[in-house]
Structures are given as C-alpha cells and as structure tokens.
C-alpha cells in the first residue's frame, strides 16, 4: 500500500491519526497542495477529485475519501477496533462520523476557504474553480459554534463520541475542534465538556501526528 | 425496528429503496416535514438533528444518517449485498457514496433550499435557522452540472457506480439525478451514459418506492 498525504492539510491528518492508532506502518508520499500538485495530470489519474488522502492498494486500486480509506484499513487490520465492534456500534460510528463531517468539518471548511486570501476562486476542493462567497464564510463560523454546543452536550455524559470507546468519530471531531479553534470560530473555554475531551484525546501519541 | 420516513423527501427515499432492494418489511412511521413535525420536542428526542430518515432498533436505540442506517441493515440482512462483497469493494462503495453525497446531493440541496420560497431561513436542515444565500443556489446548479459530467464519464465504462454490481451508491446517484433534473439544473439528454444508466436502474421495482 501507499498513502498519499499532505502534512499541512486536515483531511489526510484524520487518516494519519487512524493509521497511528492502529500501529500500522504504510509508506507515505507527500502531495504538495500549496503548489497545486493535486491538480496535475499525474495526480488526477490517482484521484479525479484532486484531493488527498488517497490510499493505493497493493493491486493498484485507488481509494479516496477518509471514511472509505479507514473502512478498508479497519477490515484488513482489525485491532484495535476504531469503527465499532458489532452491527449497531459500527452503524453508530458511521452516523457520528457523517454528522461531524456534514455539520462540523464542512462548516470549518466553508469558513476558511470562503475567506482566506490564498483561496480566491478555490472555495471548494476539486478540479473546478468556484468563487468565494463571504456569507458562506460567516455561516460556517456560526455553524461551528452550534456544532460545538452539540458536541459539548454529548461529552457531558460520553467519554468518547460513541460512548466508552474511541473511534474514527473522535478523530474527525478532534480535527473539527482544532480547525474551529484556529479560525477563532470558537473559544474552547466556553465549552467545558468539549475542552476536557479535547485535552484527553489530544494527549494520545497518535494524535501528535 | 421502526423506520421514520417522509414520502415526499429525497433522503429517506434512499433508505426506502434500499429496504425494497433487500426485500425487507419494516414498519413505517411518516413524519410530517411540511408542517414542521421534525422540529417538535417529540421528534427531537429521536434525532436532535431534526431530520429523517431515522431507524429505531428493537432495543430502542436510534440511528440517523442514510449511510449508517443502510450499513446496519446490510449487516443484519446481508442478502442481496448492496454495500460490497469484500474489503476493497466495501470501501469503494463508501467512497462513491461519499462523493455522491458531497458533490451531488449537497449541490442539489444547496440549489433548492437557497432558492425555494417555502425555505426562507431554512437553508439547512436541523434545529437552527440559516438565511438563504442566493449565490449558493447558483453554485449548486453549476456543481450539479459538473458532477453529472463526472458520472457520465463513469457510466461510459461501468454498468453501475462501482462496476458490475448495483449498490447503495446507485441509489444515492439516482436521487441526485432525479433532484437535479427536477430543478432543471441538468437536461439528461446532454448526458448519454448517465441517461442510459438512469433509465436502467429506474426500471427496477425497488426504485418505484
């Protein structure tokens, strides 16, 4: 296998942490997003959506999208389990991961890509250019606050997103909180439970990746 | 189990088709989205994100998000397989389903909810109100065209999204095409391969649901 990564981007970092939690050692190739390598013909042949992460399988097949790559790694290297131990728990992990992507990570991406000067006409990843929409950046900041409230309520009773076990959903939520904090969309001191969970998972060695 | 559905909404229809392809018979409860039942305290207790579909399990646990509900049903009723037969194929199904949600279904939802008169201040599902952003509706129409081109290229060689077998990804893509056509974002006559695939899957009895 080969893992196409970019050490400065949030999406591939989710897979990097997942790989580290599993204790796997997969050869890495860095993709230079800052200089547009993801838009090159060579990279488009790997992923027509011009985005990392990508996992190349031993038979040459290419997997993109974080949840898909992690699902594959979970099946070929089951321990430790990071996507649930039975049918209901596996579904619960996918449910929370989807909510975190749609309500959390898409909000921070909207806030960042629709306001950062370097992302003019690059409001979305992919081969097509789209103009920045300032109102969408503002909405992203508001949504990040609302979703932080939702997570804060969850962590009032849960040690981890799905309850007592860490999962890919915690990795996704951690990246959301990191991004929302860096954008100053939220101040973690306003969310006591979320801050406690963030400190706890952030101390794990895999989360230093 | 109990399935919380709404016969006029696209997201629960994906689960309805999935259930019909599996040949399952699950008791259904309709949720009256037009009159805001999803925002009621009773429904919020089932899904705090105020959206259908929701699947109530026999032990009372609630699953929301299409991919999570389908993952659960796939595990408890494996035949016929709709989410892949081995690790690489299961990951490929999740990959395509994610791409269709992010690039297709979110585009049509943006186009519709940011322009329809009845959705003023309801540009997103969920408990919070967000104002419509007209530029986002326009962008959604453009993205729907781009994603239709992407699918059209795929169906030049593939009978179904992942290749030779139908999967949840075809159900998701079908709903995208239905929605994009109804919004007049696309004219299927401009996409020969996509139109042929759409006619073929649209003839399946489960897709009449």
What would the pLDDT profile of B45-85 be if each residue is shown by its tens digit?
Answer: 999 999 999 999 999 999 999 999 999 999 999 999 999 99
Query: Is B75–A65 a contact, with Cβ atoms under 8 angstroms apart?
Result: no
Cα A49 to chain center, whole Å?
Answer: 16
Query: Is B67–A135 a contact, with Cβ atoms under 8 angstroms apart?
Result: no
Spatial neighbors of A140 by CB under 8 A, at least 6 apart, are A106, A107, A108, A109, A110, A111, A112, A114, A185
Q: Phi and psi at residue B108, in whole multiples of 5°?
A: -70, -35
Neighbouring CB atoms inside 10 A of A208's CB total 9
Would the ipTM clear 0.90, i.e. be above it? yes
Query: Is B91–A71 a contact, with Cβ atoms under 8 angstroms apart?
Result: yes
How far apart are the CA of B33 and the nearest CA of chain A, in angstroms?
Answer: 20
Per-residue pLDDT of chain A (209 residues; tens, 9 = 90+): 999 999 999 999 999 999 999 999 999 999 999 999 999 999 999 999 999 999 999 999 999 999 999 999 999 999 999 999 999 999 999 999 999 999 999 999 999 999 999 999 999 999 999 999 999 999 999 999 999 999 999 999 999 999 999 999 999 999 999 999 999 999 999 999 999 999 999 999 999 99
Query: Is B103–A91 a contact, with Cβ atoms under 8 angstroms apart?
Result: no
Question: Which residues of chain A lie closer than 8 angstroms to B146, CB-CB?
Answer: 128
Neighbouring CB atoms inside 10 A of A99's CB total 22
The answer to whether A179 touches A105, Cβ cutoff 8 Å, is yes
Task: For residue range B99-142, list pLDDT tens digits in order.
Answer: 999 999 999 999 999 999 999 999 999 999 999 999 999 999 99
In the beta sheet, which residues pair with residue B160?
A: B163
Helix and strand numbers, DSSP H then E, in chain A: 8, 4
How far apart are the CA of A28 and the nearest CA of chain B, in angstroms?
Answer: 20
Question: Which residues of chain A lie closer than 8 angstroms to B49, CB-CB?
Answer: 99, 103
Q: Which residues of B touch A (CB under 8 A)?
A: 48-49, 57, 59, 61, 63-65, 67-69, 71-72, 75-76, 87-88, 90-92, 94-95, 98-99, 103, 124, 126, 128, 130-131, 133, 135-136, 139, 142-143, 146, 150
Enter the tokens of residue A12: 């591939």
Q: How far apart are CA A109 and CA A140, in angstroms?
A: 8
Strand pairing category for A2-5 and A28-30: parallel
Using DSSP, state whether B154 is helix, strand or coil.
helix
Q: How far apart are CA A188 and CA B17, in angstroms?
A: 42
Query: For residue B154, what is the nearest residue in chain A, using CA coordinates?
Result: A48
Question: Which residues of chain A lie closer than 8 angstroms to B71, CB-CB?
Answer: 90-91, 94
């Amino acid at each position: 296998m080969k893992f196409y990564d970019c050490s400065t981007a949030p999406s591939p970092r989710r897979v990097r942490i997942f790989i580290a939690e599993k204790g796997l050692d997969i050869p890495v190739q860095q993709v230079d997003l800052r200089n547009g390598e993801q838009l090159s013909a060579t990279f488009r042949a790997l992923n027509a959506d011009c985005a990392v992460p990508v996992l190349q399988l031993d038979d040459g097949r290419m997997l993109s999208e974080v949840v898909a790559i992690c699902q594959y790694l979970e099946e070929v290297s089951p321990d430790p389990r990071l996507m649930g131990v039975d049918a209901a728990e596996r579904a619960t992990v996918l449910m929370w991961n989807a909510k975190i992507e749609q309500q959390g990570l898409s909000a921070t991406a909207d806030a960042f890509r629709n306001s950062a000067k370097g992302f003019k006409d690059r409001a979305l990843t992919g081969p097509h250019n789209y103009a920045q929409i300032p109102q969408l950046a503002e909405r992203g900041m508001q949504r990040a606050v609302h979703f932080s409230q939702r997570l804060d309520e969850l962590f009032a009773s849960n040690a981890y997103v799905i309850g007592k076990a860490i999962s890919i959903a915690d990795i996704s939520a951690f990246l959301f909180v990191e991004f929302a904090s860096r954008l100053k969309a939220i101040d973690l001191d306003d969310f006591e439970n979320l801050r406690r969970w963030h400190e706890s998972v952030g101390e794990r060695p895999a989360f230093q990746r």
